[in-house]
Amino acid sequence: MNELAETLENVFGFYSFRPGQEEIINHLMQKKKLLAVMPTGAGKSLCFQLPALLFENQTIVVSPLLALMDDQVIGLKDLGVKAERVHSGMTELKREQVWEDFKNKKIKILYISPESLMRNEMISAIKPLNISMFVVDEAHCISKWGSDFRREYELLKELQNHFPEAVISAFTATADEETRSDINNKLTNGKGKIFLYGFNRPNLSLAVQQKTKNWKAQLFEFLENRKNQSGIVYCLSQKLTEQCSEFLKSEGFNAYPFHAGLDTQVKIETQNKFMTEDNVVVCATIAFGMGIDKADVRYIVHISLPSSMEAFYQEIGRAGRDGLEADTLLIFGLQDLFQRKRFIDMSDADDSFKIKEHKRLDALIAYCDSATCRRQTLLSYFKETCETCGKCDNCLNPPQMIEGTEYAQMVLSAVYRTGQYFGSGHIVDILRGVLSDKVKAKGHDTIKTFGVGETATADFWKIFIRQMVSANYLLINIQSYGALQITPKGEMVLRGEDEYFYRKIEFNQPKKEKRIKPETIDTETLDDEKELFSALKSKRLELARKRRVPAYIIFPDATLHQMLLHKPQTIGEMGKLNGVGPQKLEKYGEAFLSIITNEKYSND
Ligand code: ADP
Ligand code: MG
Ligand code: ZN
């Protein structure tokens, strides 16, 4: 067996590399510089951690967030790797101690913040150590073009001048072409080889629903059978996170709100619960996510529209990092779209930035309304292609397109006759013949279109109108409080010069049909052996609590599934499972083995 495979198995407990890992590691082993762009969850850490162990001298990893550093160091220590970190969240004494150990080569991998690393005294102290490799994780932070520029990262430009002998490697999940060459220029003078791996995450399923008045019912339908899973529900407002977690709690879920307005202590507790316990659902604004590195998040629901395609991709990317099946659902309505557009217009950014943001949002709307494979739509935004996925909502239930020229004319006419001054809610009232105060005050019960659409529900009309907006027959004028206005395309339909087709709108019939999932270990084994699985999980929780680490650090779900599948009867058999390396075998093997071999749970 070669050195790489041996380390992969003996230290990390894995039997095969994920796509891209081996090429990247081989490149680094030849002491060559690189920038690797791989999606979230692809396994970037292993790409530098494994070579770091094989290099003669030490490796320094730069990372932007304390929580990220802590997680990675805890994980490495648990594998028996001599790793440490230095950051401002630690006492002076502890930092000095770590530094002393590092100087004496008792530490192989050191995580550090960019500003601590680039101090002059630090640079001079490090020089004599002949560092083998510098790793810049989350490298997009160095670029103004990237999505999360950090001034401290700019200091890293000097790295290659100070350490011309060292390997420099950079890793990120999000970097378009401009950002990539910017990172590469700053860190390696453009000499690093760029490795690009796809955005496709085949284990994530994608689905979109139109928001109805009863979003709670929609949420519940999706979550009903997921009480024994962990997930995140993203909400636009702090208030909504509270409402959402209240509702889920009342339905028996282990749910918590999370948003920027909460007490720091409460936020830390919620994060810890999410990281260390099973079956926790966090209802969160985007304040939750960065630095959350939990491998077994099984679902992501958006009950509000994210800000852009990139944001959406990043948020769903937090599910299924262990490679097992995970589901995502986006529920959105016209009101969200209006709010998002208003956020962009009200920001202080300059016009060209606003135009770009509107486009990114429009791409997401197009994704929501697309009638073809969602995965293809998503990937095409990132300039990638794929086969139809066979497991998104559109693949499973191809939407029907229906001729709706007459309906569209009703809407356009109501908009036209009221002077293109009013928002969707008022237009729907007019169509349905509702005598609201506003309708009466404006005298809109006398116009020709009043009541022409009374046979359809208000929800139907709202969704119908939203589709017209996203297909650009109507536009929402933000300056005039969300008034609907007719576009040139809309005028054609109004004049009868063009037809209009819409996506079939369904929400009345219960959508209870079972999803066809590809065969994976989880579904079937879990049904048969819930009892053993939950016994393994409680053992894991007990150990995690005792050691104060996230549960998946003990063993991720994927490894517990391996135990269910193979039912090892001896320590030797246990050690052969994917995910059980020698260190973990020694620490936890016995504890889990005794559960599996316990008669109560054995098969015969
Ligand atoms: P990211 O690319 O987002 O930084 P991580 O490095 O955090 O991803 O890895 C995500 C998950 O994938 C971790 O739980 C890690 O243990 C797991 N992983 C990485 N490499 C492999 C592999 N070769 N086989 C199985 N699991 C892996
Ligand atoms: Mg990472
Ligand atoms: Zn599909």
Helix (H, G, I), strand (E, B) or coil at 342: helix
pLDDT at 522: 45
CA–centroid distance, 68 to ligand 2, in Å, is: 8
pLDDT at 325: 95
Which residues contact residue 370 at a Cβ distance below 8 angstroms, ignoring those fewer than 6 apart?
A: 377, 394
User: Measured between alpha carbons, how far is 242 from 256 in angstroms, rounded to an integer?
Assistant: 8
pLDDT tens-digit series, residues 12-48: 988 888 878 999 999 999 999 999 999 877 889 999 9
Cα–Cα distances in angstroms (integers) from residue 357 to residues 345, 467, 471, 569, in the given order: 9, 20, 18, 57
Q: Please report the atom of ligand 1 found closest to the CA of residue 17.
A: 23
User: Measured between alpha carbons, how far is 244 from 233 in angstroms, rounded to an integer?
Assistant: 8
pLDDT at 591: 93
User: Measured between alpha carbons, how far is 287 from 277 in angstroms, rounded to an integer?
Assistant: 20
Indicate whether residue 301 lines ligand 1 (CB < 6 A). Answer: no
Residue 425 has pLDDT above 60, yes or no: yes
- Who wins on pLDDT, 104 or 547? 104
CB 52 within 8 A of CB 59: yes
Residue 229 has pLDDT above 90, yes or no: yes
pLDDT at 414: 96
Which residues contact residue 176 at a Cβ distance below 8 angstroms, ignoring those fewer than 6 apart?
A: 145
Which two structure tokens, joined as six digits, stand for 245? 């977690």
Indicate whether residue 46 lines ligand 1 (CB < 6 A). Answer: yes
Indicate whether residue 41 lines ligand 1 (CB < 6 A). Answer: yes
Ligand nearest to the CA of 324: 1
Residue 358 has pLDDT above 90, yes or no: no
Indicate whether residue 550 lines ligand 1 (CB < 6 A). Answer: no
User: Measured between alpha carbons, how far is 202 from 218 in angstroms, rounded to an integer?
Assistant: 25
- Provide mean pLDDT across the span 70-95: 92
* Highest mean pLDDT: which range of 220-224, 357-361, 385-389, 398-402: 220-224
CA–centroid distance, 44 to ligand 2, in Å, is: 6
Pairing label, strands 133-136, 167-172: parallel
Helix (H) or strand (E) holding 479: none
pLDDT at 515: 35
- Who wins on pLDDT, 164 or 597? 164
pLDDT at 385: 79
Which residues contact residue 19 at a Cβ distance below 8 angstroms, ignoring those fewer than 6 apart?
A: 42, 197, 198
Indicate whether residue 61 lines ligand 1 (CB < 6 A). Answer: no
Indicate whether residue 561 lines ligand 1 (CB < 6 A). Answer: no
User: Measured between alpha carbons, how far is 143 from 181 in angstroms, rounded to an integer?
Assistant: 9
Residue 602 has pLDDT above 70, yes or no: no
Which two structure tokens, joined as six digits, stand for 242? 């509270």
pLDDT at 523: 44
- Which protein residue has the closest C-alpha to ligand 1 atom 15? 43
Q: Please report the atom of ligand 1 found closest to the CA of residue 45.
A: 6
CA–centroid distance, 40 to ligand 2, in Å, is: 7
User: Measured between alpha carbons, how far is 54 from 11 in angstroms, rounded to an integer?
Assistant: 11
Which two structure tokens, joined as six digits, stand for 297? 């998040």
Q: Position 63: which residue type?
A: S
- Hey, which bits of 383-534 come out as E strands? 401-403, 474-477, 483-486, 501-503
Q: Please report the atom of ligand 1 found closest to the CA of residue 39.
A: 2
pLDDT tens-digit series, residues 240-257: 999 999 999 999 999 999
User: Measured between alpha carbons, how far is 360 from 352 in angstroms, rounded to an integer?
Assistant: 13
- Provide mean pLDDT across the span 82-90: 91
CA–centroid distance, 17 to ligand 1, in Å, is: 10
Q: Show the DSSP H helices in 143-207 as ranges.
A: 151-154, 159-162, 177-188
- Hey, which bits of 268-334 come out as E strands? 281-284, 297-302, 326-332
pLDDT at 435: 94
Ligand nearest to the CA of 371: 3
User: Measured between alpha carbons, how far is 101 from 265 in angstroms, rounded to an integer?
Assistant: 32
Q: The whole model's pTM is what?
A: 0.61
Q: Position 33: which residue type?
A: K
Cα–Cα distances in angstroms (integers) from residue 472 to residues 274, 365, 461, in the given order: 41, 11, 16
CA–centroid distance, 374 to ligand 3, in Å, is: 5
User: Is residue 176 very low, low, confident or very high in pLDDT (cuts 50, 70, 90)?
Assistant: confident
CA–centroid distance, 377 to ligand 2, in Å, is: 26
pLDDT at 524: 46
Q: Please report the atom of ligand 1 found closest to the CA of residue 137.
A: 4
Among 71-75, 407-411, 521-525, 539-543, whose mean pLDDT is lowest?
Answer: 521-525
- Provide mean pLDDT across the span 528-539: 84
For the beta carbon of residue 233, count every other beta carbon within 10 angstroms: 28
CB 167 within 8 A of CB 31: yes
- Provide mean pLDDT across the span 106-125: 95
Cα–Cα distances in angstroms (integers) from residue 257 to residues 283, 287, 320, in the given order: 5, 11, 21
Indicate whether residue 374 lines ligand 1 (CB < 6 A). Answer: no
Ligand nearest to the CA of 378: 3
Residue 517 has pLDDT above 60, yes or no: no
pLDDT at 291: 60
User: Is residue 380 very low, low, confident or very high in pLDDT (cuts 50, 70, 90)?
Assistant: confident
pLDDT at 604: 45
* Share above pLDDT 70 across residues of the chain, in percent, rounded to a whole number: 93
- Which protein residue has the closest C-alpha to ligand 1 atom 9? 43
Which residues contact residue 506 at a Cβ distance below 8 angstroms, ignoring those fewer than 6 apart?
A: none
- Who wins on pLDDT, 58 or 478? 58
- Provide mean pLDDT across the span 193-221: 91
Q: What is the CA radius of gyration of the chain?
A: 27
Ligand nearest to the CA of 140: 2
- Provide mean pLDDT across the span 393-405: 91
For the chain, the average pLDDT equals 88
- Provide mean pLDDT across the span 103-130: 95
CA–centroid distance, 369 to ligand 2, in Å, is: 32
Residue 601 has pLDDT above 60, yes or no: no
Q: Position 527: which residue type?
A: D
CB 50 within 8 A of CB 27: no
Q: Which of 21, 25, 45, 557 for mutating ligand 1's site (highest number of atoms within 8 Å of CB)?
A: 45
Indicate whether residue 182 lines ligand 1 (CB < 6 A). Answer: no
Indicate whether residue 14 lines ligand 1 (CB < 6 A). Answer: yes
- Provide mean pLDDT across the span 217-234: 95
CA–centroid distance, 133 to ligand 2, in Å, is: 17
User: Measured between alpha carbons, how far is 348 from 566 in angstroms, rounded to an integer?
Assistant: 58
Q: Please report the atom of ligand 1 found closest to the CA of residue 293.
A: 7
Angle at alpha carbon of residue 564, lines to 560 and 568, rounded to 5°: 100
Q: Please report the atom of ligand 1 found closest to the CA of residue 295.
A: 14
Residue 481 has pLDDT above 80, yes or no: no
Q: Show the DSSP H helices in 372-422 as ranges.
A: 374-381, 393-396, 405-417
- Who wins on pLDDT, 565 or 54? 54
Angle at alpha carbon of residue 371, lines to 323 and 335, rounded to 5°: 90
- Provide mean pLDDT across the span 589-593: 93
User: Measured between alpha carbons, how far is 29 from 53 in angstroms, rounded to an integer?
Assistant: 11
Indicate whether residue 108 lines ligand 1 (CB < 6 A). Answer: no
- For ligand 2, a single-atom ion, which residues have Cβ within 5 Å? 44
- Provide mean pLDDT across the span 342-362: 81
Helix (H) or strand (E) holding 20: none
Residue 320 has pLDDT above 70, yes or no: yes
CA–centroid distance, 316 to ligand 2, in Å, is: 15
Pairing label, strands 474-477, 297-302: unpaired
- Which protein residue has the closest C-alpha to ligand 1 atom 5? 43
User: Is residue 548 very low, low, confident or very high in pLDDT (cuts 50, 70, 90)?
Assistant: confident
Residue pointed to by tokens 């009013």: 422
pLDDT at 147: 64
Residue pointed to by tokens 């304040």: 287
User: Measured between alpha carbons, how far is 603 from 299 in angstroms, rounded to an integer?
Assistant: 31
